[in-house]
Amino acid sequence: MGKFENKVVVITGAAGGIGKVTAKKLADEGAKLALIDLNLDAVNEVVKELGLGEDRVLALQANVADEAQVKAYVDATVEKYGKIDCFFNNAGIEGTTKPIEDYPVETFDLVYNVNIKGAFLGLKYVLPVMKKQGFGSIVNTASGAGLMASPGMVGYIMSKHALIGITRVAALEGAPHKVRVNAVAPGVINTRMMRQIEENTLPGAGQAAIDAFSQAVPIGRYGEPEEVANVVSFLLSDDASYVTQSIYTVDGGQINQ
């Protein structure tokens, strides 16, 4: 029997690199999944790859920055499964790379809406379900960018710093109800998002950009989505039953060097 046998897990950003790999890992451990993404075709592809029966997977399209749509995905999950054991509050975007004076206000607003408002709304509607149950585990996807600064990425860094603060507040509010809230803080991970960050930072550099980012990591390489999923799985599981309000870096030692 897997660690997540008969546990219901909601994942936002489920069609992205980390979300998709985490969904597969938890499915292999027996989880019942509600997979949420703005791109319904992409999330349906994830469902197809997982090969789960209808009793174990629910695919939903939602803009996480829209309150009505967030409430709808939470309600649909509870209607189908009757509970929510775990929530991987994962949806996020990177924005662009420009100095503050050139950073577009509309991009700043978009990053805020997805990365902060979207995460807040997920908590706003999932936490009451878990509090009523008297149990639950939540992992927010922060970033190493929430613990350090980098020039040109004011939108993304602002959002991930804020998300760490939100995580700590949610953990304190959830603790009396046996609801744990933690965050995972990935560094440079081999996903589509990093391809875009590479291009934004060093346009057209290709492998040279990857080499440059890798050199800033003590371990000397990018992380893989599976390495983040392993930490998310631990934090969501009962193995982390005494862990809350913690920020787990998955960054090859980059933040604390």
Active site residues: 156
Smallest Cα–Cα separation from 245: which of 181, 185, 175, 173?
181
How far apart, in whole angstroms, are the C-alpha atoms of residue 235 and residue 43? Answer: 23
79 touches 58 (CB < 8 A): no
Range 17-39 burial, b when 16+ CB lie within 10 A, else e: bbbbbbbbbbbebebbbbbbbbe
CA distances from 221 to 4, 19, 217, 218 (A): 31, 21, 6, 8
Q: How far is CA 87 from the centre of its chain?
A: 9
